[in-house]
């Protein structure tokens, strides 16, 4: 192994050391970068977030047009790869809901988040930039502050506002909401993630989506269908008897007496006379049809009583010959 122009590898080149765990400072920096990215960029289209902005059950923000384009894609490898969004909580406890492709099945799985837009002057003084602020406190909503929105109205506030203000009514639209319908935006804390997981499980059991709308093909509808079928089986005899009686009534031809009773049951004289006239015309038409059918059938047979003259052909032995008289 030498003098042949080759290289001799050293130990540090052959032996790879295990990856070192990130320090607390490095983990915080990485988490801050991820938060800044998801607060400003749509993970589906990799474009800047712009109104209208929607959120799914995990609190992730998307552009609404990007979600529509994702839902319109045909099922395949491309859609699966697009649905595997690099989520902020991908390494955390938010595992049961899966990636964005598992959470986004339709527009009912997202809620439009209504941010209050504020203006902030730039440091250079060249102009102002738009940002999202809390409509109550005026604080900026972003990576450094906890923000929440309410389902189903979608109004966004600072996290402290919902906790401090007593009541279960939105502060902007006065729409009532449940305590469990306060969704944190891009949550990080394990308690928030566990609560969102539990909320989604509960909604799925009830046959509802994130927007509190009925999910297509939900279990709730199936249960109702089963109840209806069981009720139909329990009352099957009465239902069948009613249906059979109705069919028998329809099948039996109406006699003149029944027609007269129906006509007499009509209180309006003009309507009764018109009905009687129509029934009489219908009866005459039926009689003519029956007579016409009988004549057509009778025409196939000879009804005359006169017999043909036998003449010379009375006997088959002498048919075609004439016998002279004696």
User: Over the stretch 230-267, which tens digit does the pLDDT of each residue have?
Assistant: 554 444 444 444 454 454 544 444 444 444 544 455 55
Predicted local confidence at residue 298, as pLDDT: 63
38 Cβ neighbours under 8 A, 6+ residues apart = 60, 61, 88, 186
Q: What is the mean pLDDT of residues 195-217?
A: 91
Residues 186 and 262 both lie in one domain: no
Residue 117 belongs to a domain: yes
Instruction: Provide the domain limits for residue 155.
Output: 26-218
Residues 131 and 38 both lie in one domain: yes
Residue 155 pLDDT class (50, 70, 90 cuts): very high
Q: What is the mean pLDDT of residues 80-91?
A: 63
User: Over the stretch 98-114, which tens digit does the pLDDT of each residue have?
Assistant: 677 778 889 999 999 99
pLDDT tops 80 at residue 93: no
Predicted local confidence at residue 23, as pLDDT: 86
Residue 59 belongs to a domain: yes
Residue 9 belongs to a domain: no
Residue 77 belongs to a domain: yes
Residues 279 and 210 both lie in one domain: no
Residue 277 belongs to a domain: yes
Residue 220 pLDDT class (50, 70, 90 cuts): very low
Q: What is the mean pLDDT of residues 189-213?
A: 91
Residues 122 and 54 both lie in one domain: yes
Predicted local confidence at residue 202, as pLDDT: 93
Predicted local confidence at residue 234, as pLDDT: 46
Residues 59 and 195 both lie in one domain: yes
**Rounded (10°) angle between helices 256-265 and 269-298:** 160
Domain count, the chain: 2
Residue 20 belongs to a domain: no
Residues 53 and 134 both lie in one domain: yes
Residue 282 belongs to a domain: yes
pTM of the shown model: 0.59
Residues 204 and 288 both lie in one domain: no
SS (H, E, C) the chain: CCCCCCCCCCHHHHCCCCCCCCCHHHHHHHHHHHHHHHHHECCCCCCECCCCEEECCCCCEEEHHHHHHHHHCCCCHHHHHHHCCCCCCCCCCCCCCCCHHHHCCCHHHCEEEECEEEEEECCCCCCEEEEEECCCCCCECCCCCCEEEECCCCEEEEHHHHHHCCCCECCCCCCECCHHHEEECCCCCHHHHHHHHHHHHHHHHHCECCCCCECCCCHHHHHHHHHHHHHHHHCHHHHHHHHHHHHHHHHCCCCHHHHHHHHHHCCCHHHHHHHHHHHHHHHHHHHHHHHHHHHHHHCCCCCCCCCCCCHHHHCHHHCCCCCCCC
Residue 291 pLDDT class (50, 70, 90 cuts): low
Residue 15 belongs to a domain: no
Residues 129 and 276 both lie in one domain: no
Q: What is the mean pLDDT of residues 166-171?
A: 82
Indicate the residue among 218, 245, 267 that finishes a domain.
218
Looking at residue 112, which CATH number applies to its domain? 3.30.40.10
């Amino acid at each position: 192994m030498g003098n042949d122009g080759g290289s001799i590898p050293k130990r540090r080149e052959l032996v790879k050391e295990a990856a070192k765990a990130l320090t607390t400072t490095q983990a915080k920096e990485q988490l801050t970068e991820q938060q800044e990215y998801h607060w400003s960029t749509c993970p589906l289209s990799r474009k800047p977030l712009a109104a209208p902005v929607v959120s799914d059950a995990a609190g992730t923000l998307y552009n609404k047009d990007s979600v529509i384009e994702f839902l319109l894609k045909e099922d395949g490898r491309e859609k699966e790869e697009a649905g595997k969004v690099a989520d902020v909580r991908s390494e955390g406890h938010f595992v049961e809901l899966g990636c964005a492709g598992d959470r986004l099945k339709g527009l009912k799985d997202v809620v439009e988040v209504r941010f209050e837009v504020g203006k902030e002057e730039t440091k250079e003084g060249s102009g102002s930039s738009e940002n999202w602020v809390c409509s109550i406190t005026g604080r900026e909503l972003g990576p450094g502050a906890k923000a929440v929105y309410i389902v189903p109205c979608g109004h966004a506030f600072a996290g402290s506002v919902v906790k401090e203000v007593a009541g279960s009514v939105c502060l902007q639209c006065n729409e009532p909401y449940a305590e469990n319908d306060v969704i944190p935006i891009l949550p990080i804390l394990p308690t928030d993630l566990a609560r969102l997981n539990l909320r989604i499980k509960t909604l799925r059991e009830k046959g509802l989506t994130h927007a509190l709308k009925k999910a297509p093909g939900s279990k709730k509808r199936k249960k109702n269908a089963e109840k209806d079928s069981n009720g139909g089986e329990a009352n099957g005899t009465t239902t069948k008897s009613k249906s059979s009686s109705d069919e028998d009534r329809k099948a039996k031809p109406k006699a003149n007496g029944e027609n007269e009773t129906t006509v007499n049951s009509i209180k309006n004289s003009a309507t009764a006379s018109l009905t009687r006239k129509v029934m009489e015309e219908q009866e005459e038409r039926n009689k003519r049809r029956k007579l016409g059918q009988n004549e057509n059938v009778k025409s196939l047979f000879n009804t005359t009583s006169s017999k043909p003259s036998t003449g010379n052909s009375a006997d088959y032995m002498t048919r075609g010959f004439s016998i002279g008289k004696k």
